[in-house]
Structure 1
Amino acid sequence: MRASDVMTSNVISVTPDMTVREVARIFVDNGISGAPVLDADGRVVGMISEGDLLRRSEIGTDERTRASWLDLWSASHEARDYIKTHAVKVRDVMSTDVVTVEPDTPLGKVAGMLETRRIKRVPVTQAGRLVGILSRANLVQALASVPDEPATDVSLPDAEIRAMLMGELAGHKWSFAGRNIVVTDGVVHLWGVFQSMEAVDAVRVAAENIPGVKRVEDHTEPYQMMPGI
């Protein structure tokens, strides 16, 4: 799936010259927590979210409790902090380091951007113009919309099940060392040693996704550290 398949097309946007209070009302009235900021040509110049409005002088949340080392902040930091909490216009409060995606961007890449940059939404643009917005909620909605796979009575040969599982595990760092997999009548038996329960659980999940697997039985043993290591 791609960004255009799940994005919200009817986007509520704001402008740099709007006031912070106007934006707060827009958020409340429309039940949203963020919006792209567009210039007169309809291009994205920033993003503003609830996080940008948390610390405000109007409601007495502008004071930041500082640890002793934070008292060493430079004057420029202090000035930026003051602007963030006292500025009237959106242009002074919004985030300008905006990342955008295009309609044909794969959802996997979008999810990675949301995760690594620790953001909740990303504008979708085409030829520089806003065409939608894609949020974490949209990704969850996409997952909820995937139809359940119908139950099947597929019964693959044990050898094929084992081959498929070994192929799936190949190249994964979490695939525990010294493993052995035996498949009997659709039951996958895991043998060997492991360095973490997460590794065993990952192998189990991989096995459970193979058609014809009835269950997974774990016979693995914990990895024994050599004395002195």
Structure 2
Amino acid sequence: MQAEAIMTKPVITTHANATIAEAVELMLSNKVSCLPVTDSDGALVGIVSKSDFLRREELGTRRVRPRWLEFDLGPGTTANDYVRSNGRIIHEVMTAHVISAPPGASVAHIVNLMMQHRINNVPIVDRERVVGIITRTDLLPVLIRAMPKAGTTPPDDDLIRRAILAELQGQSWSGGDVIDVRVSDGVVELTGEIVDERQRKAAIVAAENIAGFGQVKDGLFFRIDPFSVMKVS
């Protein structure tokens, strides 16, 4: 699935020369958490979000650093802190380096950008123009549509067992064939040995995704790995 299929459009934007008060009012009236910033030609030049307005002189929340740290950081950093806390125009406080993506970007690419850069919003840009935006909230309907629906469980025990085994054997954490699966009347029992308790939860999740919630019995045996004990001691 590509970004253009799930992005929100049209996009509420603000101008680089707009005031902070105007941008905040725009956010509140449209119930959005960020605003892409455009120049006079409509090209994307930055982005502002609610977090950009947290360290403000008006709120009494400006960043205060210890003197010794200010000395180490130099005047540039403290000057930037001052601008962020006291600037009145959007171009003074916006994030100029915008993480964006083209309309044809995959959902996986969008999520990787969000996780790698710790951001909540990715503007979708085509020839320097903002054509959409994807927020973390926009990904939730995609998740719901992709999740298995009730009633899609394989019709018999053997198919359920084979499907679960195939899923387990395709995962590096499962240990290959150390986990066995038994199925009776649609109820799954996981047996075998694991060496890490996190494998238990992962195996149960794998089985539940195929057999259904409440249809999996945990019969896995936790075996302490002697080599890990030796490393600890």
CA drift of 1:223 comes to: 2.8
Gapped regions of structure 1 (runs ≥ 5):
none
| 2:14 match: secondary structure | coil
Could you tell me which residue of structure 2 aligns to residue 28 of structure 1? 28
Residue number in structure 1 paired with 2:161: 162
1:228 aligns to what?
Answer: 230
Give the % identical residues. 30
Higher helix share: 2
Aligned 1:19-168 pairs, distance under 5 A: 19-64=19-64, 66=66, 72-144=72-144, 149-152=149-152, 154-158=154-158, 160-168=159-167
Mapped contact 1:13–1:37 kept (Cα < 8 A)? yes
Structure 2 match to 1:175: 174
Counterpart code for 2:178: R
> How large is the Cα RMSD of the aligned pairs?
2.7
Deviations 1:69-128 (Å, cap 9, x if unpaired)? Answer: 566322221111111111222112111121111222222221221122111111011222
**Aligned equivalents of 1:132, 1:24: Cα separation in 2:** 20
- With normalisation by structure 1, the TM-score equals 0.85
Structure 2 alignment gaps of length 5 or more: none
Residues paired across the two proteins, number: 228
**Offset at residue 45 of structure 1 (A):** 1.0
TM-score (norm 2): 0.84
Contact map agreement 2:38 2:44 (CA 8 A) in 1: yes
Q: Which residue type is aligned with residue 175 of structure 1?
A: S
Q: Distance in 2 between matches of 1:214 and 1:23?
A: 49
CA distance in 2, matches of 1:92, 1:6: 31
Secondary structure (helix, strand or coil) at the match of 2:122 reads strand
Distance 1:218 1:147, change over 3 A: closer
Work out the CA distance in 2 between the residues paired with 1:148 and 1:178: 25
Cα deviation, residue 46, structure 1: 0.7
Aligned residue type for 1:36: P
